[in-house]
Structure 1
Amino acid sequence: MVTPSTTSAPLLDVRALSLGFGASQTDLLKGLRYSVAPGETLCIVGESGCGKSVSSLAIMGLLPKGAATITEADIQFRGAPYDLSDTAALRRHRGADIAMIFQEPMTSLNPAFRVGDQIAEAVRAHRPVSEAQARDRAVEMLGRVGIPAPEARMSEYPHQLSGGMRQRVMIAMALANDPALLIADEPTTALDVTIQSQILDLIRDLQAETGMGTIMITHDLGVVAEIADKVAVMYAGTIVESGPAEAIFNDPQHPYTIGLMSSMPRLTGPRERLATVPGTVPTIETMPKGCRFSTRCPFAQPLCAEEPPSRDFGGGHHALCHFAPLNDWLEPG
């Protein structure tokens, strides 16, 4: 079993990533910073519309050309520069070194082709193997992700499989070339609780077996608590807090993180109305200056119209807030 590395260099090190869309002068993603090491799971959490999926598509080089503009990109992969403008290099990495499981397998799998052919095609795109060898690899991967009778499933179309089975096919395709990094975008969305647990267990087992780094994109804090080594909390295109999972859950320091934690239902104790974060995520046209959470923050002050500093709490725990640590600011006197 491979455990997360605490001493080796990051597998993927995003030191700065900003991008905009269209003619807007405001960056949709602004100054993203995070890293993931071999064998480590980083969970990126936040509401819908916060930019989680966009950031992963940017890393994969899958944003629509002409629509998105990279305004800042300082990224290292395996210690070497990772150039988002080098289309040929991104194509070599994509599917071989870095693989992605997309949010909805029914729209990600081609309905006109058998699932076995789709996995075999992914293999042949990056490996100098024959068609027969690629099909053997596809059968092997279907069995590896727990699909019964993989030889028979090879000839089936996506619509003939259940949602859980389609998601397993997506995982098999993503891992067919033994990638060093897996990006999983809401891999358990629309699946029932039992299948969700099976999919998470499968990803965790394969990660332990191969030592790949994993970036899990989700809004489900229950999933985060179960699998994360590190957490990055994203709001309106910025990472407002990041650090070890234990620190984020036990000592959140950004008002948005605190709001997310307060909205989690409890299985024990008295029944209480869940807390909510009022308002909605701003659009790129209504993005406030300074702290992007200021329009929804209960602690907002005029100072929040200025860019907030990154506060360092040690151990890799950071929060982007003028008033962090909040417990010091809220103390009487």
Structure 2
Amino acid sequence: MNQPLLEVENLRFRFRGQEQDVVQDVSFRLGRNETLCIVGESGCGKSVTALALMGLLPQDSVQFGAGRIRFDGETFAPGDHDRIAKMRGDRMAMIFQEPMTSLNPAFRIGDQIAEAVERHRNCGHAAARARALEMLGKVGIPAPEQRFDAYPHQLSGGMRQRVMIAMALANDPELLIADEPTTALDVTVQAQILELIAELQAETGMGTIMITHDLGVVAEIATNVAVMYAGQVVEYGSARSIFENPQHPYTIGLMASVPSLTGPRRRLSTVPGVVPAIGQMPEGCRFSSRCPFAAPVCAARPDLAEQDPGHRVACHFAPLEQTLERSA
């Protein structure tokens, strides 16, 4: 097996003053030119996991456990902000969910891209400007010379997201984290943005982590999938194995809630309840308060155990087919 670009092992942290971890023992790996999709409801820990990987959580408010990150053969602790800061914007970059709040409204978009180039490439402003113009053209923004001097509020949502992509990829990162980059965009622009990211990934060979709740997007672009619930990875495997043979009740609930375009109309399935707040997580399996299979054994936390090669599930009742046969 080739050396993975990124390995995250037992990432664990909590906010100061909290008695429970907001993210607990999260592990995954990502190869070059692969896409890992992290899926789950709002509040499941997807975005905060990405912020931790990028070193963007406030240092004075987070307590990290004894996990580790291995990036391109280099191992460091999740809380090593100085080391992560040297790579952020250069070897690893992030596209945020809402570009209007991520771009500085007081600066021209071209200058914001050029600043990232100047910081990491130690070049002059003219070279940085030329690179910014090149990236604006590469992400499909028309008339880059004119758009260079535009402010964020003068662009549409789709154009602002393209600017974010240009900024993230200006230094040819090896790792790209995209946090729901198509939220609030119409379906046509969504497709364009996803196609653009896929084209740039194929061109550069970077590894991509895509955070999303859209299972249609996952089915289209994912190499592997990590299903998160309440700060834990509850199912992990290839996209094909997750979609063809989901084994965690939460994964099955997510898939059942997706509307179908074919067949008879029916009421959408739902997962009852909501994600518990930090400090109110059940002991043992955190999904037990919403799970139809919940039993006394769920008071003990299930391990993320391998069910099939490369397919791991954190459920006492997996494989579910055998559980259903026994109860029939």
Q: Which amino acid aligns with 2:224?
A: K
Q: Which runs of 5+ in 2 are unaligned?
A: none
In 1, distance between residues paired with 2:72 and 2:280? Answer: 38
Counterparts of residues 35-114 of structure 1 (less than 5 Å): 35-114=29-108
SS in 1 for 2:241: helix
In 1, distance between residues paired with 2:270 and 2:306? Answer: 27
Q: 2:208 aligns with which of 214, 228, 233?
A: 214
Q: 1:234 aligns with which of 220, 228, 231?
A: 228
In 2, distance between residues paired with 1:196 and 1:268? Answer: 22
1:261 matched to 2:258: no
| Higher mean C-alpha displacement, 128-137 vs 83-92 | 83-92
Runs of 4 or more consecutive aligned structure 1 residues displaced over 6 Å after TM superposition: none
Alpha-carbon offset, residue 311 of structure 1: 2.5
CA deviation profile, 1:64-102 (whole Å, cap 9, x unmatched):
122111123211111220333333211111011110000
SS in 1 for 2:283: coil
Alpha-carbon offset, residue 128 of structure 1: 1.5
SS in 2 for 1:72: coil
Other-structure match for 1:183: 177
In 2, distance between residues paired with 1:309 and 1:34? Answer: 15
Instruction: Say if 1:311 and 1:324, in contact at 8 Å, map to a contact too.
Output: no
| Higher mean C-alpha displacement, 161-170 vs 19-28 | 19-28
SS in 1 for 2:48: helix
CA deviation profile, 1:17-68 (whole Å, cap 9, x unmatched):
0000121221110000111100000000000000000000000000012211
Other-structure match for 1:288: 282
Other-structure match for 1:4: none
Other-structure match for 1:29: 23
Other-structure match for 2:139: 145
Other-structure match for 1:127: 121
Percent of paired sites with the same residue: 64
In 1, distance between residues paired with 2:81 and 2:311? Answer: 34
Alpha-carbon offset, residue 256 of structure 1: 0.2
Other-structure match for 2:321: 327
Alpha-carbon offset, residue 279 of structure 1: 0.2
Root-mean-square deviation over aligned CA pairs? 0.9
Q: Which amino acid aligns with 2:111?
A: D
Other-structure match for 1:3: none
SS in 1 for 2:265: coil
Q: Which amino acid aligns with 1:161?
A: L
Other-structure match for 1:303: 297
Equivalent pairs, count? 327
Instruction: Say if 1:116 and 1:153, in contact at 8 Å, map to a contact too.
Output: yes
Q: 1:274 aligns with which of 268, 274, 290?
A: 268
Instruction: Say if 2:236 and 2:311, in contact at 8 Å, map to a contact too.
Output: yes
SS in 2 for 1:313: strand
Q: 1:246 aligns with which of 240, 262, 265?
A: 240
Alpha-carbon offset, residue 252 of structure 1: 0.2
Q: Which amino acid aligns with 1:224?
A: V
1:174 matched to 2:162: no
Q: Please give the TM-score of this superposition, normalised by the length of structure 1.
A: 0.97
Alpha-carbon offset, residue 219 of structure 1: 0.5
Other-structure match for 2:109: 115
SS in 2 for 1:172: helix
In 1, distance between residues paired with 2:76 and 2:92? Answer: 12
In 1, distance between residues paired with 2:238 and 2:148? Answer: 40
In 1, distance between residues paired with 2:93 and 2:280? Answer: 34
In 2, distance between residues paired with 1:251 and 1:168? Answer: 35
CA deviation profile, 1:248-278 (whole Å, cap 9, x unmatched):
0110000000000100111111111111000
Alpha-carbon offset, residue 310 of structure 1: 2.2
Instruction: Say if 1:184 and 1:216, in contact at 8 Å, map to a contact too.
Output: yes
Instruction: Say if 2:68 and 2:78, in contact at 8 Å, map to a contact too.
Output: no
Alpha-carbon offset, residue 242 of structure 1: 0.5
Alpha carbons of 1:83 and 1:309: their partners in 2 closer, same or farther (altered >3 Å)? closer
| Higher mean C-alpha displacement, 78-87 vs 170-179 | 78-87
Q: Which runs of 5+ in 1 are unaligned?
A: 1-6
